[in-house]
Amino acid sequence: MRVEGANILVTGAGSGLGAAVARHLAQRGAHVAALDLNAEAAAATARATGGMALACDVADADAAAGAVARAAEAGPIRALVNCAGIGTAARVVGREGAMPLGDFERVIRVNLLGSFNMMRLVADHMSRSELEGEERGAIVNTASVAAFDGQVGQVAYAASKGGIVSMALPAAREFARFGIRVNTVAPGIFLTPLLQELPEQVRDGIAAAIPFPPRLGDPEEFAEAVRFCIESRYLNAEVIRLDGAVRLPPK
């Protein structure tokens, strides 16, 4: 799938990895629909990329359907990049007792349900689009190395990202008849706004645990991996760990 000239929908595009993906794809000629729960953040990314701003909750069926319809006004959506997500740190049984069920449910709702919701809506749209060569579209979901190496306090986050990993193969198999590919990138520890708030000494300590290169990931490197997933026509149902060979310790 060619990025140049393609209409691409990026969720979580208001900040972090999603914003990096939106900028990267726009610089390579894509028309980007920047979707984020934060309307101002989505608008800022849209201004920077010359694209469209969309504000909605990715896990809201009606709101997401409306956002997809608006994005499609610019032409057939050829790629979806799901970057919207939240993190949390809480033990299943902590000092205050059992984790509130609502805390677990919130993470699953945004990360897993939200990714599935956007995928189902965009895949339905793509299935009715004209073929471009031998395919109709590409979907890239964002997981995490926590799906494989979840740490203490990451049960909810790891479960949500593990679900995203598990969706890749069955979704790719189902969408094959439409000419739609599904891939997943599982990033390690990247220099996002959240990590930038930490003291430099703490960031250096985290980076030292990464084998090579011994540094935090650059969001631009994540964006490059996403573009590879979109453009590589034989890449399908794959989960790519992008982590500098790190394996997260228990704590």
Residues with a known catalytic role: 157
Sign of CA dihedral 121, 78, 144, 27: negative
Helices (runs of H) and strands (runs of E) counted in the chain: 10, 9
Q: Match 């449910």 to its residue by tokens.
A: 105
Q: How many other CB atoms are found less than 10 A from the CB of residue 214?
A: 12
* Residues in Cβ contact with 179 at an 8 Å cutoff, skipping those fewer than 6 apart: 131, 134, 135, 136, 137
Bridge partners of 10, per DSSP, are 34, 81
CA triple 138-139-143, angle to 5 deg: 145
Report residue 82: phi and psi, to 5°: -90, 105
